[in-house]
Amino acid sequence: MCARVDGSGEPTIATEVKTKPTWLLALALCALIRTTPALAQADAPVVRDPAGTLELVVLGSGGPGATGRAASSYLLLVQGEPRILVDAGPGSFARLGELKLSLDALGVVLLTHLHVDHAAELPGIIKARAVAAGAPIRFEVYGPGARAAHGDVPAFPSTARFMQLLFGDGGAFAYLKDFAAPVTFQVTDLPPPGSGAQAAVILARKDLTIRAIAGHHGDAPAIIYRVDTPRQSIVFSGDIDASGLPALAKISQGASLLVFDAVVLDPPGSPAVLYTLHSPPAAIGELAGRSQVKALLLSHLSPAVEQSREAVSASIASHYPGTVKFATDGLRLRP
């Protein structure tokens, strides 16, 4: 049953966000969600996986182009419950609904960087979580810090500022803070102060540890994440160029699965400018082999990579003997 919310408190975006909900609208939405089969999953029986079990669900395996794939987005299930969202590219909202996964335990958001094809769907997913809940929700959001403008290089907001622009007072979607349930955000800009070029633990619970390290994606501040449970580990490269590979090699050592954004072909198969933003197959294979990851999932796939799967696979295999898969929307993997 949808709970009534008292609407007390004076929040800020980096700590709490709560105001007075519109009761009739909120109650109507709760009733609608609870009776819509595609979204109402809270009453479905929960099947618990063994402690520490980690599963990856690909919501979006494409890039910025309208190619029929949703853009980069992933859910991580811990013991069968979707608890972590990694990126939220356009189209991931629809994939989430098609998979009919409960959002009841979703509370952590990891943003690799703030390009449109990795972050634009976040408001829709947060709204979906809120209207299905009927009770207060708290999100822990992690993402890159700011970059100041420099010459022709544009500025990027910090993740805290990004969330403020979306959900804070006067933000584009400020109404979502309590449209159906009060939503609070705890936002952390990465990398943490003092971490330097080393991976830092950003979240630690008994069954879950998340580490982060600064990546490199042209002029966009970028973060690499590693998620560990007692049984498995998954690393997300995000979009990454050659300058970011040393950091990725550090954090991905021995991982069960490395999710690597694959956009370009080996030189000179792609436009030269793209090599300042992305890593080619040979570099992917070299890193996966050097880091001794157990398996490699290629995602954020460009049309060029899709059309050259055989050549891409051969290039990677010349350096990496492990399992290589190409992601698809809706793919589920248990490393």
CATH class of 23-39+50-327: alpha beta
| pLDDT digit string, tens, across residues 61-100 | 998 888 889 999 999 999 899 999 999 999 999 999 999 9
Distance CA 304, CA 61 (A): 14
Cα distance from N-terminal residue to C-terminal residue, the chain: 36
Give yes or no for a contact between 180 and 130, defined as CB atoms under 8 angstroms apart. Answer: yes
Distance CA 228, CA 76 (A): 11
**pLDDT tier, 273 (very low <50, low <70, confident <90, very high otherwise):** very high
The residue with greater pLDDT, 116 or 151, is 116
The full set of domain ranges for the chain reads 23-39+50-327
DSSP 49: P
Instruction: Quote the strand ranges of the chain, DSSP E.
Output: 54-60, 73-78, 81-88, 108-110, 137-144, 183-190, 200-205, 208-214, 223-228, 233-236, 257-261, 295-299, 323-326, 332-333
Q: Return the structure tokens found at 13.
A: 């975006």
Give yes or no for a contact between 76 and 84, defined as CB atoms under 8 angstroms apart. Answer: yes
Look at residue 38 in the predicted model and tell me its pLDDT.
Answer: 32
Residue 32, pLDDT > 50, answer no
Q: What is the rounded average pLDDT for all residues in the chain?
A: 85
Distance CA 114, CA 117 (A): 8
Look at residue 151 in the predicted model and tell me its pLDDT.
Answer: 74
pTM of the predicted model as reported, rounded to 2 decimal places: 0.85
